[in-house]
């Protein structure tokens, strides 16, 4: 067993410098690496390029780094819940690359699978295709156009899991898995924060989502807010 444990988020990010590229797991505020984001905020690292499906909300998640102008460029698929983000983007303060969600996930995956490019039909005929190589393939019995998209190779990858062991093996919970697995696989250095850090042997090897080989540093998060973006409920007396 190779022990990947570090003490906390502060120790985990000690090699991160201004201007680096970081990919982060999470969908909306679900499954985001809260403690690592806080550590970046605290340390004041600037000029970051962040690859993440969303950009948080005004006062939580990546939104916190945006408020402090620590992000130079954002690569995301959906940024609808963040007024400060929209303001910085429309004023030109923040560089933004919006890409289709499946393209984002698959470019992260390709990084982790050791494949330099993928071809996807998403974005053909739209402004996403501008400047990209287009090729025709017959697939599923239909000939159509596909865009060539490059794998992501971020300097650092931040993920959040439910449980992890000292060897870096990770288990996610519910839809908090989302981008975390693909993000974990593509980082040159991947840091995992977990709600519960356990001893090797405590996680069933049959049910590991991300094997420890992809993880370079792991720690148990100090606290988790796990904020809910859209609280939707039904009444006890509703019959569906």
Partner 1 sequence: MLDKYGIAKRIAKEIKDGYYVNLGIGIPTLVANYIPEHINVVLQSENGLLGMGPFPFEGEEDADYINAGKQTITTLPGSAFFDSAMSFGMIRSRKVDLTILGAMEVSENGDIANWKIPGKMVKGMGGAMDLVASAENIIVAMQHVNKAGESKLLSSCTLPLTGVKCVKKVVTELGVFEIMETGGFKVLELHDGVSLDMVKQSTAGKLYY
User: Residue numbers of the site for partner 1 (CB under 8 A)?
Assistant: 27-31, 53, 76-81, 86, 89-90, 96, 98-106, 108-109, 120-128, 140, 162, 172-182, 209, 226-236, 240
**Angle, alpha carbons 196-220-206 (nearest 5°):** 45
Tokens of residue 4, six digits: 């990947």
CA–CA gap between residue 132 and residue 31 (Å, rounded): 32
Q: Which is nearer to partner 1, 39 or 161 (CB)?
A: 161
Cα distances (Å, whole numbers) of residue 190 to 16, 76, 78, 140: 12, 19, 24, 36
Q: Which is nearer to partner 1, 16 or 163 (CB)?
A: 163
Q: Which is nearer to partner 1, 136 or 140 (CB)?
A: 140
Cβ(212)–Cβ(168) below 8 Å: yes
CA–CA gap between residue 96 and residue 139 (Å, rounded): 32
CA–CA gap between residue 27 and residue 95 (Å, rounded): 21
Q: Which is nearer to partner 1, 36 or 89 (CB)?
A: 89
Cα distances (Å, whole numbers) of residue 38 to 8, 18, 44, 164: 11, 16, 10, 20
What's 93's DSSP letter? S
Nearest distance from residue 173's CB to partner 1, in Å?
5
Nearest distance from residue 141's CB to partner 1, in Å?
10
Nearest distance from residue 102's CB to partner 1, in Å?
3
Backbone angles phi, psi at 180, to 5 degrees: -60, -40
Q: Which is nearer to partner 1, 38 or 103 (CB)?
A: 103
Residues ≥6 apart with Cβ < 8 Å to 232 = none
Cβ(68)–Cβ(38) below 8 Å: no
Q: Which is nearer to partner 1, 16 or 23 (CB)?
A: 23
Q: Which is nearer to partner 1, 16 or 110 (CB)?
A: 110
Nearest distance from residue 7's CB to partner 1, in Å?
26
Nearest distance from residue 181's CB to partner 1, in Å?
4
- Residue that is written with structure tokens 């042997």 in the block: 201
């Amino acid at each position: 067993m190779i022990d990947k444990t570090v003490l906390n988020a502060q120790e985990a990010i000690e090699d991160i410098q201004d201007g680096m590229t970081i990919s982060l797991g999470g969908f909306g505020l679900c499954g985001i690496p809260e403690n690592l984001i806080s550590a970046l905020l605290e340390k004041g690292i600037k000029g970051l390029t962040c690859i993440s499906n969303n950009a948080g909300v005004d006062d939580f998640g990546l939104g916190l780094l945006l408020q402090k102008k620590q992000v130079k460029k954002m690569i995301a698929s959906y940024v609808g819940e963040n007024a400060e983000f929209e303001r910085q983007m429309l004023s030109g303060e923040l560089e933004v690359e919006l890409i289709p969600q499946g393209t984002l996930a698959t470019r992260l995956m390709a990084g982790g699978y050791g494949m330099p490019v993928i071809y996807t039909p998403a974005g053909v005929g739209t402004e996403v295709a501008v400047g990209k190589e287009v090729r025709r393939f017959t697939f599923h019995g239909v000939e159509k156009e596909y865009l060539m998209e490059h794998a992501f190779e971020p300097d650092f990858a931040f993920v959040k899991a439910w449980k992890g062991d000292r060897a870096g093996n990770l288990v996610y919970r519910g839809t908090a898995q989302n981008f975390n697995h693909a993000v974990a696989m593509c980082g040159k250095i991947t840091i995992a924060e977990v709600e519960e850090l356990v001893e090797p042997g405590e996680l069933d090897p049959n049910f590991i989502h991300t094997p420890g080989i992809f993880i370079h540093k792991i720690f148990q998060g100090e606290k988790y807010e796990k904020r809910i973006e859209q609280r939707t409920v039904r009444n006890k007396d509703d019959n569906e």
